Amino acid sequence: MSTSSETVGTSPETGVSASKESAPSASSEAVAGPPVRGTRLTLSGASLGRPGAPALDDVGLDIAPGEILTVVGPSGCGKSTLLRTLAGLLSPLAGEITQDGHPLTGPAADRALVFQEDALLPWRTLRANVELPLAIRGVPRSERRDQSQAWLERVGLGTQARQLPHRVSGGQRQRVQLARALAARPRAVLMDEPFGALDAQTRAGMQDLLVEVLHGTGATVVFVTHDVDEALFLGDRVALLGAGGLVAVRDVPHPRDRGAHDHPARVALRRDVLTSLGT
């Protein structure tokens, strides 16, 4: 596809969006490499779902380069459908979806997808799983090894690189998925309830880890969850999905600030979100 020719890593641009935190630390840059240019994803009048069973109608959404957009809504409202369409695994039934102005034509390496669970290949070690997208991109073997090891260390699994996925915990498997998604330096990371199957404590730790590893990558993030608090913590903006379509998109005050959960603006937004979702 046309957009993938100008992707990841080919030009070490530094045009990180203003919505991201300040300059990356030296150590994180060593692992993540120079920041990529986040991609702009735009849906206009998009109807999504399977033919005959549209899940979402007339969705209009503009996701800015480098922003973290969280998508929240009740189970079965089409959150995953939205994400899979953005990944290119599903085609829109109507309307248009563009990446930096070019229509999406299918899955591509510059849009990584992180699944809820069990998306690691069980016959590959953790390291081999992280190496896979690098191998697909044609990164030479020794470089692949170094990069995957660095990413595993970054998510705290450096010593378990040679384990098989079923030998580690569910939370650790999700860390590997995160490493696998980010190792290929995608311009967009699409996350489908990545922490949905984890217990509350692991989950909070994973959210902090996510914030930490995304720091300075420059990638656009779309993060789907059914947990309102998670959506409000992680997102620069939060999109509310209801039955049949997009209900609203709100700016989140103090994104990714653990101390801000009782800030009046945040509390008001939380109440507003819960009301909008009808819960």
Residues that bind another protein (CB under 8 A): 4, 84, 87-89, 106-113, 115, 117-119, 121-124, 132-133, 136-137, 164-170, 184, 190, 197
Nearest-approach distance from CB 188 to another protein, in angstroms = 10
> What whole-number distance in Å separates Cα of residue 53 and Cα of residue 127?
39
Least distance to another protein from the beta carbon of 272, Å? Answer: 33
Q: Which token pair is 142?
A: 């020794």
**What span, in angstroms and rounded, lies between the C-alpha atoms of 232 and 254?**
9
Nearer to another protein, 197 or 204 (CB): 197
In the chain, the largest separation of any two C-alpha atoms, in whole Å, equals: 53
Nearer to another protein, 17 or 125 (CB): 125
Question: Nearer to another protein by C-beta: 109 or 150?
Answer: 109
CA 113/CA 182 separation, integer angstroms: 10
Nearest by Cα to 10 from 42, 40, 33: 33
121 or 268: whose CB is closer to another protein?
121
Q: Give yes or no for a contact between 109 and 136, defined as CB atoms under 8 angstroms apart.
A: yes
- Give phi and psi for 201, each to the nearest 5: -70, -50
- Residue 45: CB atoms within 10 A of its CB come to 13
Closer residue to another protein, CB minimum distance, 18 or 123: 123
Cβ atoms of residues 203 and 170 within 8 Å: no
Among residues 139 and 273, whose Cβ is nearest to another protein? Answer: 139
In whole angstroms, the minimum distance from the beta carbon of 4 to another protein comes to 7
**Integer Cα distance of 241 and 78 in angstroms:** 8
* Smaller CB separation from another protein, 121 or 248: 121
Token pair in block for residue 3: 């957009």
Listed as own residue / partner, the contacts of 207-210 with beta carbons closer than 8 Å and 24 or more positions apart are 207/233, 207/234, 208/258, 209/155, 209/156, 209/175, 209/178, 210/178, 210/234
* Closer residue to another protein, CB minimum distance, 48 or 240: 48
CA–CA dist 6, 266 (Å, integer) = 38
| Minimum distance from residue 68 beta carbon to another protein (Å) | 19
